[in-house]
A and B are shown apart, each in its own frame.
Chain A
Amino acid sequence: MTQPPRQTPGGYHGRYLRVDVSDGQAEPAELPGDLLRRFLGGSGLGAYLLLREDVARSEPLSAATSLAFVFSPLVGSPLTTSAKFAVVGKSPLTGRINDALASSGFAIAGKRTGFDAIVVTGRAPRPSVLVIDDGQVRLEAAGRLWGLECDAAEAALRARMGAGFHAAVIGPAGERQVRYATISHDGRHAGRGGSGAVLGAKNLKAVVVGGTRLCAWADAAALAELGRELSRKSCGPATAKYRELGTAANLLAFNRLNALPTRNFQRGSFEGAARIAPETLAAARHKTRNSCAACTIGCEHIYELRPGREDIAGAAVRVEYENLFALGPLCGVEDADAVLAASRRCDQLGLDTISTGGTIALAMECVERGWLNAPWLRFGDGRALLQAIEQIGARRGLGRLLGEGSLRLARAVGHDALAVAPQVKGLELPGYEPRSLQMMALGLATGTRGADHNRSGAYEIDFSDRADRRHPAPEAASLAAGTEDQAALFDSLILCKFLRGVFTDVPAEFARMLRAVTGWDVAPDELRQTARRIVTAKKLFNIRAGWTPQEDTLPERFLNQPLPDDPEAVLTAERLAALVSAYNLARGWRPDGQLEEEHLRQLQLDDL
């Protein structure tokens, strides 16, 4: 085992690896300590690397673009939920920055290659597997791996490579460059934004990592104690929802609040919600609970596809709120068999369930309105849902168009499809009805990767007494920015956001962890500035990629028209514009969202 140079902060190797898969050339590059301190790891370090590589001006599916697999100082530490990595690139769906997180052994093995990040550029001459083995790089022929579904591909690579290696793979959807294809590892996905398509465009079926290179910790004893403390807290009441019910517990509550997007956001409540809620499904179908590597929460609830069916005996799927909503109410489907089967097919093909459901739901509405000639694709038809997913994964039939995402589908369909396309910047909306949750509407409109519930936690404001969720004042916009800053810290340090309830002061408690890991004398205020830097760095990327202020809004459907099931839930264009402007000012940006040079200098972004 080799140790990094002494001057490298604890928790880091102090370098990243740049691999050009066009010719297999690999080049390590230094990451100085002051730079690591500015961007930490994960999402933050990924944003820095993309700016450094000038990815903003590249075409997302070109050989010239780069895709970064980024680890963090906490990976490999005793801190629970720290086995995470970020996949950062330019999204083929949005043309904007995309930072997707995934979990488990790939993060630990990836960091053991001896690098804090792996940046992949170029295009392999033939379908290949990129192997990084203890710092050594090689390209192997993908051979029969190409064409395999995600789970089969990963199993085959485990058999080929042996113990100690972990693979991040794409499925058939990524190979065919479906714009919302995922990168999958251990049943989890770097899901949103189409990173799988970027890898597929590079002719890479998988990235496989393994090694023996460990990092030192600045204060191992303190870190061990922090690890014990965090593990204890992670098993307490703050995480009970995830442990006992999972995120699917949202379904009936959202339905009651008219916040459950139904039939392409036509309504905020679904008459069939009870049929697919975990309260109904769990008794007959709940099979087991899983967790990522190095996680003590265990939030993954696994359900059987059809109890008692011997032909698919053992077939099971992880159930989350987002896949239930997107493949259930959003498409009008209340058949639990169909929703669970659809979710599993998305996982196997390597498709983001939210974008899959959103794009199919738009298509269903277009058929309903007579704008799209596909009479078999109707709201509520579970078999049609499954058929559409197969066509997307195979890129045949209607799947050729559906695989482009809802924005491009709407443009192709014409009529008023753009007004009802459930997307922002091209990324399909998650399961939060904007008219019912108007702080979340702000988060969806302004988020750097598009309509996203992970980079903005503004729904927390809606679910509190700090703002009126249907009539928020512009002053509440700063609270939404605060949730974004918190998310940036979680996504860069990296720790799972399901832990957030155990912390009373995130910057202060994260500072303690960083001190023990790195030896830096980090103060909470420094981390608050770091969060603002990371969010602004992502905005800077987007500006260079062509962002305009007109993108920070919602489709017409969500503006000025009340939700049919809740007449008080109306979001005017004026209110949204006022919220966006207030948010931008709260960030220190211009009211229109543009950045001032002085602000970039204050955030130490002026050298980028």
Chain B
Amino acid sequence: MTITVEFYGLARSRVGAAVATVDTPTGSSDLGRVLRELAARYPGLAACCQGNGQLRAEYTANIGGRQFVRDPATPLRAGDALLILSADAGG
């Protein structure tokens, strides 16, 4: 299945791209697995993650523009859009 990942703000700067896709061989995945895959592909993103597939406190993840998530075990479904952005929304 394919997960589309959108990067915003610092995450985009770290990765050097606005969008990426992650293909998983099985029919299911989770946040932690996708982050580990991305961190391996983009060394800049590895700095945004902790070792256990969780984002550092300065970052947050959002599924489809709906719910914000942190738990690496959060399931992701085929076609989901995963947003990576700053946790700090202060303006």
Instruction: Name A's B-contacting residues (CB within 8 A).
Output: 237-238, 240-241, 244-245, 247, 249-250, 252-254, 256-258, 279, 320-322, 325, 430-432, 453, 457, 459-460, 462-465, 468-470, 497-498, 500-501, 566, 568
- Asked if B57 contacts A245 (CB within 8 A), the reply is no
Taking a contact as CB atoms closer than 8 A, the residue among B10, B67, B68 that contacts A245 in the complex is B10
A237-B56, A465-B68 are contacts. A249–B9 as well, Cβ < 8 Å? yes
* Residue B4 interfacial (CB < 8 Å): no
* Residue B69 interfacial (CB < 8 Å): yes
Which one, B22-30, B35-43, B83-91, is touching chain A? Answer: B83-91
- Asked if B68 contacts A279 (CB within 8 A), the reply is no
- Asked if A245 contacts B91 (CB within 8 A), the reply is no
Q: Which residues of B contact A257 (CB under 8 A)?
A: 62, 65, 83
Taking a contact as CB atoms closer than 8 A, the residue among B10, B87, B91 that contacts A320 in the complex is B91
Q: Which residues of B contact A463 (CB under 8 A)?
A: 60, 68, 87-89
- Asked if B68 contacts A322 (CB within 8 A), the reply is no
> Cα distance A463–B59 when bound, in Å?
10
Least distance between B68 CB and chain A CB atoms (Å): 5
Given contact pairs A240-B58, A500-B88, A568-B66, enumerate 9 new A-B contacts (beta carbons under 8 Å): A237-B58, A245-B9, A253-B85, A256-B83, A459-B90, A460-B87, A460-B89, A463-B60, A463-B87
- Asked if B83 contacts A238 (CB within 8 A), the reply is no
* Residue B13 interfacial (CB < 8 Å): yes
Q: Which residues of A contact B13 (CB under 8 A)?
A: 244-245
Closest 5 interchain pairs by CB? Answer: A321-B91, A249-B9, A253-B8, A253-B85, A247-B91
Q: Which residues of B contact A500 (CB under 8 A)?
A: 88
Q: Which residues of A contact B68 (CB under 8 A)?
A: 462-465, 469
> Cα distance A568–B64 when bound, in Å?
13
A256-B83, A322-B91, A464-B68 are contacts. A279–B6 as well, Cβ < 8 Å? no
Q: Which residues of B contact A460 (CB under 8 A)?
A: 87-89
**B86's closest neighbor in chain A, by CB?**
A241
Taking a contact as CB atoms closer than 8 A, the residue among A247, A249, A258, A468 that contacts B8 in the complex is A249
> Cα distance A250–B90 when bound, in Å?
8
Of A237, A253, A457, A459, most B-chain CB atoms within 10 Å: A253
- Asked if B69 contacts A465 (CB within 8 A), the reply is yes
Q: How many residues of B contact A (CB 8 A)?
A: 27
- Asked if A256 contacts B91 (CB within 8 A), the reply is no
- Asked if B8 contacts A501 (CB within 8 A), the reply is no
> Cα distance A25–B87 when bound, in Å?
50
Instruction: Name B's A-contacting residues (CB within 8 A).
Output: 6, 8-10, 12-13, 47, 56-58, 60, 62, 65-71, 83, 85-91
- Asked if B67 contacts A279 (CB within 8 A), the reply is no
Taking a contact as CB atoms closer than 8 A, the residue among A258, A457, A464, A566 that contacts B60 in the complex is A464
> Cα distance A575–B77 when bound, in Å?
31
Taking a contact as CB atoms closer than 8 A, the residue among B12, B47, B66, B91 that contacts A279 in the complex is B12
Q: Which residues of A contact B89 (CB under 8 A)?
A: 250, 253-254, 459-460, 462-463
Q: Which residues of A contact B70 (CB under 8 A)?
A: 464-465
- Asked if B56 contacts A465 (CB within 8 A), the reply is no
Main secondary structure of the interface of B (DSSP, over half): loop
Least distance between A438 CB and chain B CB atoms (Å): 13
- Asked if B90 contacts A249 (CB within 8 A), the reply is no
> Cα distance A497–B67 when bound, in Å?
25
- Asked if B57 contacts A501 (CB within 8 A), the reply is yes
Q: Which residues of A contact B10 (CB under 8 A)?
A: 240-241, 244-245, 249
> Cα distance A247–B10 when bound, in Å?
11
Of A249, A462, A497, most B-chain CB atoms within 10 Å: A249
Least distance between A430 CB and chain B CB atoms (Å): 7
Least distance between B31 CB and chain A CB atoms (Å): 11
Q: Which residues of A contact B86 (CB under 8 A)?
A: 241, 249-250, 253
Least distance between B71 CB and chain A CB atoms (Å): 8
> Cα distance A31–B86 when bound, in Å?
42
> Cα distance A357–B69 when bound, in Å?
33
Taking a contact as CB atoms closer than 8 A, the residue among A258, A431, A566 that contacts B91 in the complex is A431
- Asked if B88 contacts A241 (CB within 8 A), the reply is yes
- Asked if A501 contacts B88 (CB within 8 A), the reply is yes
Q: Which residues of B contact A501 (CB under 8 A)?
A: 57-58, 88
- Asked if A430 contacts B88 (CB within 8 A), the reply is no
- Asked if A430 contacts B91 (CB within 8 A), the reply is yes
Q: Which residues of A contact B67 (CB under 8 A)?
A: 465, 468
Least distance between B20 CB and chain A CB atoms (Å): 15
Least distance between A571 CB and chain B CB atoms (Å): 16
- Asked if B9 contacts A247 (CB within 8 A), the reply is no
A240-B58, A241-B10 are contacts. A250–B91 as well, Cβ < 8 Å? yes
**A254's closest neighbor in chain B, by CB?**
B89
- Asked if B90 contacts A498 (CB within 8 A), the reply is yes
Q: Which residues of B contact A320 (CB under 8 A)?
A: 91
Least distance between B42 CB and chain A CB atoms (Å): 16
